[in-house]
């Protein structure tokens, strides 16, 4: 689906000229700079989305376990710090692999994806990629372990309150956590399918299915969130019910 063209008379560090990406029947071209900009944007989006879901799980933990102290525990300053740290950490974490891969000289010219992927570029390199692999392992571990730890901590505390509390507490916990859990599972499954497709040979799958799996985690999460969290607000839900069933 992707092709990287070379010009032999140019120096190796400037050979990547135009990855051609075919989505359906439309062919697009992108320069080397925009290819790595695309890698940075996609990776930082995925990392930041996962960190945002972790922060939201912590927010729900405070709302359920400390309802009377919520406003003093989750202050505007604390929210600002959490969001700023997650954005900065995600940006730095995803900027490094793109910077490490940009100077690499490539031996191959096929990227079987609908967008630029750092893993495919590193895999086709002729140079020593030990540093890339080590940082990739460390970066992936940090990007997954930090949010997962916070999510597991938050929901373990929430489950403790649900099992020890009354029926009203359990109902409140379910109504508060359901949209977040659906959003978390949707994003996790989409990212899992994308990683699975990138790391293993999926050439046996139909081309349209591979394209759908590649763009699912990018499109479905932003489309699903307004529905999940919007319909959880009573005024929006009542307005939608009136529009649909009037």
User: What pLDDT, in 10s, does the model give residues 142-162?
Assistant: 989 999 999 999 999 888 888
Q: Residue 18 pLDDT > 80, yes or no?
A: no
- Return mean pLDDT, the chain: 78
Q: Residue 51 pLDDT > 90, yes or no?
A: yes
Where along the chain do its domains lie? 2-245
pLDDT classification of 20: cutoffs 50, 70, 90: very low
The DSSP H or E segment spanning 4 is strand 2-4
Q: For a pLDDT cut of 70, what percent of the chain falls above it?
A: 80
pTM of the model: 0.78
Q: State the pLDDT at residue 33.
A: 81
Q: State the pLDDT at residue 85.
A: 92
pLDDT tens-place string over residues 165-183: 677 777 777 877 888 888 8
CB atoms within 10 A of CB 221: 19
Q: What is the mean pLDDT of residues 107-125?
A: 77
How many whole angstroms separate alpha carbon 135 and alpha carbon 118? Answer: 12
Q: Residue 4 pLDDT > 60, yes or no?
A: no
Kindly tell me the burial class for residue 114, based on how many C-beta atoms sit within 10 Å of its own C-beta (0-12, 13-18, 19 or more).
buried
CATH architecture group of domain 2-245? Up-down Bundle (1.20)
pLDDT classification of 226: cutoffs 50, 70, 90: confident
- Please tell me whether residue 165 adopts helix, strand or coil conformation: coil
Q: State the pLDDT at residue 67.
A: 85
Least confident of 18-32, 54-68, 103-117, 196-210: 18-32
Q: State the pLDDT at residue 210.
A: 78
């Amino acid at each position: 689906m992707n092709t990287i063209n070379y010009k032999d008379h140019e120096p190796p560090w400037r050979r990547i000229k135009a990855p051609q990406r075919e989505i359906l029947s439309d062919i697009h071209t992108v320069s080397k700079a925009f290819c790595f900009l695309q890698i940075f944007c996609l990776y930082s989006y995925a990392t930041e989305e996962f960190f945002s879901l972790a922060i939201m799980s912590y927010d729900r933990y405070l709302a359920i376990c400390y309802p009377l102290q919520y406003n003093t525990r989750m202050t505007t300053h604390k929210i600002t710090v959490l969001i700023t740290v997650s954005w900065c950490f995600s940006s730095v974490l995803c900027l490094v692999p793109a910077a490490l891969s940009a100077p690499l000289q490539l031996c191959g010219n096929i990227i079987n994806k609908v967008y630029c992927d750092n893993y495919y570029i590193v895999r086709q390199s002729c140079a020593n990629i030990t540093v890339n692999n080590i940082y990739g392992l460390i970066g992936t571990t940090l990007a997954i372990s930090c949010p997962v730890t916070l999510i597991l901590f938050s929901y373990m505390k929430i489950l403790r309150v649900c099992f020890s509390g009354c029926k009203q507490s359990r109902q409140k916990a379910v109504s508060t956590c359901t949209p977040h859990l659906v959003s978390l599972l949707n994003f996790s499954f989409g990212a899992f399918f994308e990683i699975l497709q990138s790391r293993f040979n999926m050439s046996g799958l139909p081309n349209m299915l591979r394209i759908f799996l590649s763009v699912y985690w990018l499109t479905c999460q932003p489309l699903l969130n307004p529905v999940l969290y919007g319909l959880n607000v009573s005024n929006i839900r009542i307005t939608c019910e009136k529009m649909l069933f009037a």
